[in-house]
């Protein structure tokens, strides 16, 4: 299985900050990488697919980048509603696997 | 508007079979790939598998010997069976729809908590 790691595991930032989360795959996955946001008690929400494509309806302050083994999710200007846990997910190889998550809150 | 809703027992005894159904509204289950994913504090998000109309399936090898998925077009729903459950199968179970041919999950059910205990 492809192992996904994320850093940091938790993050505290101020409203208006630019925030970047990283995700690393244990082998080359091309751009077959998706990002999700999950708020407590809710299902995950797809933010970014194929590493850099913004899902319909997702605010443009979210962006994704990277390819191969190293990927990033960036929030250009953090808002209070962005408090959540963020997960990456690869689908280059089955089984599909997820990162452990990055928990983000507001300072 | 596409909506998914999981249903099934909230508690299952060890060694028995967990059975869940995902009711789909707003789109036919004869289109798209349909997924089951679970989440537990210890394991995080775990892919269980997918089913596509016509019976094509893909199961996580870690669960493959215990998993069966099916589609019911007459009731526009799909189902998951997981047999010989243990406490390790305690989790929130989600059904989800794929984003076309991309294995991204763009529509999710609200999730249903299943506890395995006697």
Whether A55 shows a pLDDT value over 90: the answer reads yes
For chain B of 118 residues, list the mean pLDDT of each consecutive stretch of 10.
96 97 96 95 93 92 96 96 97 94 92 96
Whether A3 shows a pLDDT value over 90: the answer reads yes
Per-residue confidence (pLDDT) for residue B53, from 0 to 100: 85
Q: What is the mean pLDDT of residues A12-24?
A: 98
- CA nearest to A58 within chain B: B106
Bridge partners of residue B97, in order along the sequence: B34, B107
Separation in Å, CA of A38 to nearest CA in chain B: 11
Asked if B60's CB is within 8 angstroms of A95's CB, the reply is yes
Mean pLDDT of chain A: 97
Torsion on CA atoms A101, A2, B56, A45, rounded to nearest 10: 20
Using CA atoms, how far residue B72 sits from B3, B23, B77, in Å, is: 16, 10, 5
């Amino acid at each position: 299985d492809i192992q996904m790691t994320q850093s940091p595991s938790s993050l505290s930032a101020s409203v208006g900050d630019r925030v970047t989360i990283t995700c690393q795959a244990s082998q080359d996955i091309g751009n077959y990488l998706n990002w999700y946001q999950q708020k407590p008690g809710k299902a995950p929400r797809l933010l970014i697919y194929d590493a850099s494509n913004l899902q319909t309806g997702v605010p443009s302050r979210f962006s994704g980048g990277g390819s191969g083994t190293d990927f990033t999710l960036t929030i250009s200007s953090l808002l209070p509603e962005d408090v959540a846990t963020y997960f990456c997910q690869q689908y280059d190889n089955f089984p599909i696997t997820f990162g452990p998550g990055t928990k983000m809150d507001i300072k | 508007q596409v909506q998914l809703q999981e249903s099934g027992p909230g508690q299952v005894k060890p060694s028995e079979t967990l059975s869940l159904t995902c009711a789909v509204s707003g789109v036919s289950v004869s289109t798209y790939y349909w997924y089951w994913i679970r989440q537990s504090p210890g394991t995080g998000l775990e892919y269980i598998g997918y089913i596509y109309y016509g019976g094509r399936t893909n199961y996580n090898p870690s669960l493959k010997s215990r998993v069966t998925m099916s589609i019911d077009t007459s009731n526009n729903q799909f189902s998951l069976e997981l047999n010989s459950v243990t406490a390790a199968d305690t989790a929130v179970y989600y059904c989800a729809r794929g984003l076309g041919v991309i294995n991204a999950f763009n529509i999710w059910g609200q999730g249903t908590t299943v506890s395995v205990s006697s």
